[in-house]
Structure 1
Amino acid sequence: MIDSLQTATTAMTRATERVGTAAQTIASSGVPVGGPALAPSDRVDLSGAAAELIGAKSAFALNAAVARTSDRMIGRMLDIRT
């Protein structure tokens, strides 16, 4: 049971890192005010970054559900033993 909590928290950490990476990608897509437009080779794939955000959100939510379930199961085991 403890392994499932550790696995879930590790996966939530990775999902958080994925959100950070996607956010950096989106933030880097801005053009300086008054500056020239970005060259085609410098353009950022915003649709890919948005898909990454959605995937990371889903991964985090699913692993949070695993952590909650594991926590409830551990609580019930402790209730049974006492």
Structure 2
Amino acid sequence: MDPIATAQYGMLAASRRFEASAFRVAQMGDPSSTVDLGHEVVEQVTAKNEFSANAAVMRTADDMLGDLLDIIA
């Protein structure tokens, strides 16, 4: 399993989750909209944290690969 590829997919998923929530918030101007702002705030914060966690995984995998190459060289 490639941790960098997995983290990239996780970042993409988090980004899509955030975009979907932002789209729903933008629809709040419609009088017939039933968007729950509290739920959308939680969605956006969760997506931000997911993105950050996946970025940390990516940095850690990169650091570990660098250390491995240093040991081998």
- TM-score by structure 1 length? 0.83
State the 1:46 CA deviation: 1.1
Alpha-carbon distance in structure 2 between the residues aligned to 1:67 and 1:58: 14
**Please, which runs of 5 or more residues in structure 2 have no aligned partner?**
none
Equivalence map 1:33-72=2 (5 Å): 38-39=31-32, 42-72=33-63
Match of 1:24 in 2: 23
Q: Is the helix fraction higher in 1 or 2?
A: 2
Aligned letter for 2:40?
A
Alpha-carbon distance in structure 1 between the residues aligned to 2:11 and 2:20: 14
Paired residues in the alignment total 73
Larger Rg: 1
Alpha-carbon distance in structure 1 between the residues aligned to 2:38 and 2:68: 45
Residue 76 in 1 paired to residue 67 in 2?
Answer: yes
Aligned letter for 1:79?
D
Q: State the secondary structure of the residue aligned to 1:55.
A: helix
Residue 14 in 1 paired to residue 13 in 2?
Answer: yes
State the 1:43 CA deviation: 2.1
Structure 1's consecutive aligned runs of 4 or more residues displaced over 2 angstroms after TM superposition are none
User: Deviation digits for residues 28-75 of structure 1, max 9, x if unmatched?
Assistant: 1014xxxxxx24xx3211111111001000101111111000000000
Please, what is the CA RMSD of the aligned residues?
1.3
Match of 2:4 in 1: 5
With CA pairs under 8 Å and 6+ residues apart, which has the higher RCO, 1 or 2?
1
**Please, which runs of 5 or more residues in structure 1 have no aligned partner?**
32-37
